[in-house]
Protein backbone atom coordinates (compact mmCIF):
# COMPACT_ATOMS: atom_id res chain seq x y z
CA UNK A 1 0.00 0.00 0.00
CA UNK A 2 1.45 3.37 -1.05
CA UNK A 3 1.75 6.19 1.47
CA UNK A 4 1.62 9.78 0.21
CA UNK A 5 2.04 12.83 2.42
CA UNK A 6 -0.15 15.72 1.22
CA UNK A 7 0.49 19.33 2.19
CA UNK A 8 -2.83 20.86 3.26
CA UNK A 9 -4.15 24.37 3.79
CA UNK A 10 -7.68 23.76 2.41
CA UNK A 11 -6.90 25.90 -0.66
CA UNK A 12 -7.98 24.86 -4.16
CA UNK A 13 -4.34 23.96 -4.82
CA UNK A 14 -4.20 21.67 -1.78
CA UNK A 15 -7.47 20.06 -2.83
CA UNK A 16 -5.96 19.39 -6.27
CA UNK A 17 -2.93 17.79 -4.61
CA UNK A 18 -5.15 15.56 -2.45
CA UNK A 19 -7.23 14.52 -5.46
CA UNK A 20 -4.09 13.70 -7.47
CA UNK A 21 -2.63 11.69 -4.57
CA UNK A 22 -5.90 9.75 -4.30
CA UNK A 23 -5.80 8.96 -8.03
CA UNK A 24 -2.21 7.72 -7.74
CA UNK A 25 -2.88 5.64 -4.62
CA UNK A 26 -6.61 4.80 -4.66
CA UNK A 27 -6.24 2.18 -1.92
CA UNK A 28 -3.31 3.87 -0.23
CA UNK A 29 -2.61 5.82 2.90
CA UNK A 30 -2.91 9.57 2.48
CA UNK A 31 -1.29 11.51 5.32
CA UNK A 32 -2.76 15.02 5.12
CA UNK A 33 -0.59 17.55 6.95
CA UNK A 34 -1.40 21.12 7.91
CA UNK A 35 1.72 23.02 8.93
CA UNK A 36 1.04 25.71 11.50
CA UNK A 37 2.98 28.93 11.45
CA UNK A 38 5.94 29.12 13.78
CA UNK A 39 4.83 29.71 17.33
CA UNK A 40 5.94 32.95 18.89
CA UNK A 41 6.84 33.47 22.50
CA UNK A 42 4.42 35.66 24.45
CA UNK A 43 5.07 37.66 27.62
CA UNK A 44 2.90 35.49 29.85
CA UNK A 45 2.19 31.79 30.04
CA UNK A 46 -1.54 32.45 29.59
CA UNK A 47 -1.01 34.43 26.36
CA UNK A 48 1.24 31.63 25.11
CA UNK A 49 -1.43 29.07 25.95
CA UNK A 50 -4.15 31.04 24.15
CA UNK A 51 -1.98 31.56 21.09
CA UNK A 52 -1.21 27.84 20.83
CA UNK A 53 -4.86 26.94 21.41
CA UNK A 54 -5.97 29.24 18.58
CA UNK A 55 -3.39 27.75 16.20
CA UNK A 56 -4.49 24.23 17.14
CA UNK A 57 -8.15 25.10 16.57
CA UNK A 58 -7.42 26.63 13.15
CA UNK A 59 -5.41 23.58 12.18
CA UNK A 60 -8.18 21.17 13.26
CA UNK A 61 -10.77 23.20 11.32
CA UNK A 62 -8.68 23.16 8.15
CA UNK A 63 -7.94 19.45 8.44
CA UNK A 64 -11.65 18.71 8.93
CA UNK A 65 -12.21 19.93 5.38
CA UNK A 66 -10.04 17.17 3.88
CA UNK A 67 -12.32 14.52 2.37
CA UNK A 68 -11.29 10.88 2.19
CA UNK A 69 -11.66 9.44 -1.29
CA UNK A 70 -13.36 6.04 -1.40
CA UNK A 71 -10.88 3.29 -0.59
CA UNK A 72 -8.12 5.54 0.68
CA UNK A 73 -7.03 5.60 4.30
CA UNK A 74 -6.93 9.25 5.39
CA UNK A 75 -4.72 10.30 8.29
CA UNK A 76 -4.85 13.92 9.48
CA UNK A 77 -1.87 15.59 11.14
CA UNK A 78 -0.71 19.00 12.27
CA UNK A 79 2.92 20.05 12.33
CA UNK A 80 4.76 23.20 13.34
CA UNK A 81 7.48 25.19 11.63
CA UNK A 82 8.65 25.67 8.08
CA UNK A 83 6.19 23.95 5.71
CA UNK A 84 8.78 22.20 3.52
CA UNK A 85 10.85 21.01 6.48
CA UNK A 86 7.75 19.79 8.32
CA UNK A 87 6.48 17.85 5.29
CA UNK A 88 9.90 16.23 4.82
CA UNK A 89 9.97 15.28 8.52
CA UNK A 90 6.48 13.74 8.44
CA UNK A 91 7.34 11.88 5.22
CA UNK A 92 10.29 10.31 7.02
CA UNK A 93 8.22 9.44 10.08
CA UNK A 94 5.52 7.64 8.10
CA UNK A 95 7.81 6.06 5.48
CA UNK A 96 6.12 7.97 2.66
CA UNK A 97 6.54 6.92 -0.94
CA UNK A 98 5.92 10.51 -2.10
CA UNK A 99 4.99 14.03 -1.01
CA UNK A 100 2.22 15.84 -2.92
CA UNK A 101 1.70 19.60 -2.82
CA UNK A 102 -0.31 22.07 -4.80
CA UNK A 103 1.30 25.18 -6.15
CA UNK A 104 0.23 28.76 -6.51
CA UNK A 105 3.50 29.89 -8.03
CA UNK A 106 4.00 32.66 -5.47
CA UNK A 107 7.67 31.93 -4.75
CA UNK A 108 10.41 34.38 -5.56
CA UNK A 109 13.19 32.26 -7.06
CA UNK A 110 10.89 30.14 -9.15
CA UNK A 111 7.50 31.67 -9.75
CA UNK A 112 6.40 28.56 -11.61
CA UNK A 113 6.42 26.12 -8.68
CA UNK A 114 6.40 28.26 -5.55
CA UNK A 115 8.78 28.46 -2.62
CA UNK A 116 7.55 25.42 -0.64
CA UNK A 117 7.48 23.26 -3.77
CA UNK A 118 10.92 24.46 -4.79
CA UNK A 119 12.40 23.68 -1.37
CA UNK A 120 10.80 20.22 -1.41
CA UNK A 121 12.20 19.50 -4.86
CA UNK A 122 15.69 20.50 -3.70
CA UNK A 123 15.75 18.94 -0.24
CA UNK A 124 13.36 15.98 -0.02
CA UNK A 125 14.76 12.48 -0.41
CA UNK A 126 11.24 11.30 -1.23
CA UNK A 127 9.73 11.86 -4.70
CA UNK A 128 7.74 15.11 -4.81
CA UNK A 129 4.56 15.62 -6.83
CA UNK A 130 3.89 19.28 -7.58
CA UNK A 131 0.29 19.57 -8.70
CA UNK A 132 -0.90 22.63 -10.60
CA UNK A 133 -4.37 24.01 -9.85
CA UNK A 134 -7.41 22.25 -11.39
CA UNK A 135 -5.69 18.90 -11.85
| pLDDT tens-place string over residues 74-113 | 999 999 889 999 999 999 999 999 999 998 755 444 444 5
pTM of the full structure = 0.82
Give me the pLDDT at residue 93, please.
98
**Intervals of the chain under pLDDT 50:** 107-112, 135
Q: How far apart are CA 57 and CA 41, in angstroms?
A: 18
Superfamily name and number for 3-38+46-131: HUPs (3.40.50.620)
pLDDT score for 46: 62
Q: At what angle do helices 83-94 and 115-123 cross, to 10 degrees?
A: 40
Q: How high is the pLDDT of residue 108?
A: 46
pLDDT of residue 98: 98
Amino acid sequence: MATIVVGWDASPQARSALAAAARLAPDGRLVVVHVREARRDHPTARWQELSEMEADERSRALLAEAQAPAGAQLELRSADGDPAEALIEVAGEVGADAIAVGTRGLGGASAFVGSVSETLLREARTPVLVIPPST
